[in-house]
Structure 1
Amino acid sequence: MSDVSTATGGVARVFALIRALAEVQAEGGRVTKLARSVGLTQATVHRLLAQLVAEGVVEQDERSKRYRLSLDFFALAAQAGNPGGLRSLCRPALLRLCGSLGDTIFLLARSGFDAVCLDRAEGPFPIRSFTGDVGGRIALGVGQGALAILAFLPEAEREEVIRFNLSRVREYGVYDEVYLRTEVERTRAQGYAGRNTGLLEGMAGVAVPVLDREGRAVAALSVGTLSDRLNAERLPTVVELLKREAAALTPRIHPFDATLRRPAQSLAAGELPASAARIVPGERGDGLG
């Protein structure tokens, strides 16, 4: 057998193994099961896995000994399929919404139990938000954008976040478990989060979730404005524009975009303004963003 055919066969085996790993990514794969899936001996699969681990594209859980595709693998896929990432993908939508509505538009992305402000398009009115500027973060459930993300997580994840964040959201004085769960259900029923929280007089906001292709909330588009600009007559128009932009983003979201896993790390240090520090409860703004 020639060197070329040997190399080709080796590549085919590696990609067969990668595809098998992708099918069991959630729970991870054992050598025995992976070997059956790709039709190779356990010794061969073990050797290939060791090489992939050494390259950093596969990782092994120390406790379960199961193998999964690593974050580095997803980062490589993201670079190939969506070079600009979520922030660049959403930037035109932010600019269109800001231009159409004349208000400040925020892009928030989920980061564990928090929401991170990835971007904002500044309107003419002075607006404060829980997340501050780009790079700021807030607990999921606090503020319209973070609430929209929380409400449209899968139920098990949503419950986990609520349990973890309950003590954090209580710091803001107007939140308790009943209030938070009521707001989550209201948001799910309406398809958007939007009401004047009363934390800063004269301010209001509304947000819609940005869903991936599986219907999971990965981000939110949020409007921050003066309360008299978000009255009952104008609110449906604002919500419709937000939903339209969010729906257009869904099929374009790359499932391997590393931003969806580590949004804060997608922001270059030089891009963060001095005002990007997190706003603590004693300095809180209007609950927007």
Structure 2
Amino acid sequence: MPTSPAPKDTPEAAIGTGTGGVPRLFAVIRALTEVQAEGGRVTQLARTVGLTQATTHRLLQSLMAEGMVEQDERSKLYRLSIDFFALAAKAGNAGDLRSLCRPVLLRLCASLGDSIFLLVRSGFDAVCLDRSEGPFPIRSFTGDVGGRIALGVGQGSLAILAFLPEAEREEVIRFNLSRVREYGVYDEVYLRTEIERVRQAGYAARNTGLLEGMAGVAVPICDREGRAVAALSVGTIADRLNPDRLPTVVELLKREAAAVGPKIHPFDPSLRRPSQSLAGSAATQRIPAPG
């Protein structure tokens, strides 16, 4: 005798013993993309996809078993995993941001004769994903590849912070304010004034004196949605970034950033877990603040 199809919300339908379960799995995946930054609870996801909590939990467990979803042990929140994004990036046949920007860094370094940095956001920090060394000895906040600095300190991280969506920007400011104060010249008024100046100018360039004799200028790299995910930054000695030369440097940086932005793969793992794209143990080292 023919068997009846599984009821809409039975365990068999939830897990997906046939094609009927596939849409539900993808519904959960789509729901997770909407809460990827903060993570989602079973109750929240169940409401979004229109299933019971028990069924949604079984779907999440199935996705976790395949490595596509991860759960934070402390908060119990669910997120799409790094394996999911890596799989999507591989399927899209797109180079990661570091590979995409490597020719850009080399080109800018040759054109300007200065050190060029690629920074990406990592939570409340900016991480140096790559750099191309110029002929002048310089010091930078992030140091070598893998170095970190609080968003808001240094031109590259300030360029990223300034062009984050407003809600994210406010969250970062609240979290990082005590951290940036450790540098001695920052307070909330100053930081917000700098952010507004960067937003109006479209770039960050000011010698704060935190690194004596050093100067920098940076522009954000925005993805297809206009969200700042990275920055191109020039680090050089202060004399080389005078008012006459600055517009030329800014124009070159903006041109390269504008060309890279549309090519960024939306599932690039290096933008979600920068340390996965860094070579060596430097990825986990924190660079101390300049003395």
TM-fit CA distance, 1:12? 7.1
TM-score by length of 1: 0.82
| Alignment partner, residue 30 of structure 1 | 45
Aligned equivalents of 1:42 and 1:185: distance in 2?
44
| Alignment partner, residue 7 of structure 2 | none
| Alignment partner, residue 10 of structure 2 | none
Query: Aligned ranges for residues 1-289 of structure 1 at < 5 Å?
Result: 10=18, 13-14=21-22, 17-19=25-27, 21-23=29-31, 25-27=33-35, 28=40, 30-31=45-46, 33-34=48-49, 48-59=59-70, 69-81=80-92, 84-269=95-280, 272=282, 278-282=287-291
Residues 254 and 60 (structure 1 numbering): CA distance in 2 closer, same or farther, change over 3 Å?
same
**Residue pair 2:222, 2:229 contacting (<8 A) in 1 also:** yes
Aligned equivalents of 2:76 and 2:235: distance in 1?
47
Instruction: Between 113-122 and 27-36, report the one with greater CA deviation.
Output: 27-36
**RMSD (CA atoms):** 2.9
Instruction: Between 225-234 and 155-164, report the one with greater CA deviation.
Output: 225-234
| Alignment partner, residue 13 of structure 2 | none
Letter in 1 for 2:49: L
Aligned equivalents of 1:43 and 1:199: distance in 2?
55
Residues 25 and 171 (structure 1 numbering): CA distance in 2 closer, same or farther, change over 3 Å?
same
**Residue pair 1:82, 1:257 contacting (<8 A) in 2 also:** no
SS in 1 for 2:33: coil
Q: Percent identity?
A: 75
Residues 182 and 32 (structure 1 numbering): CA distance in 2 closer, same or farther, change over 3 Å?
closer
SS in 2 for 1:25: helix
Aligned equivalents of 1:279 and 1:82: distance in 2?
37
Instruction: Between 141-150 and 225-234, report the one with greater CA deviation.
Output: 225-234
**Residue pair 1:145, 1:220 contacting (<8 A) in 2 also:** yes
**Residue pair 2:31, 2:48 contacting (<8 A) in 1 also:** no
Structure 1's unaligned 5+ residue stretches are 2-7, 283-289
TM-score by length of 2: 0.81
Number of equivalences: 269
Aligned equivalents of 1:65 and 1:231: distance in 2?
52
Residues 11 and 100 (structure 1 numbering): CA distance in 2 closer, same or farther, change over 3 Å?
farther
Residues 48 and 239 (structure 1 numbering): CA distance in 2 closer, same or farther, change over 3 Å?
same
Aligned equivalents of 1:82 and 1:279: distance in 2?
37
Aligned equivalents of 2:278 and 2:77: distance in 1?
32
Which one scores higher on RCO, CA 8 angstroms, separation ≥ 6? 1
Deviations 1:67-114 (CA, angstroms, capped at 9, x unpaired): 653333122212332564211111111111111111100011111111
SS in 2 for 1:30: helix
TM-fit CA distance, 1:162? 0.8
Residues 112 and 30 (structure 1 numbering): CA distance in 2 closer, same or farther, change over 3 Å?
closer
TM-fit CA distance, 1:30? 3.5
Aligned equivalents of 1:126 and 1:64: distance in 2?
45
Deviations 1:216-272 (CA, angstroms, capped at 9, x unpaired): 1111100011222111111111101101111111111111111111112321227x4
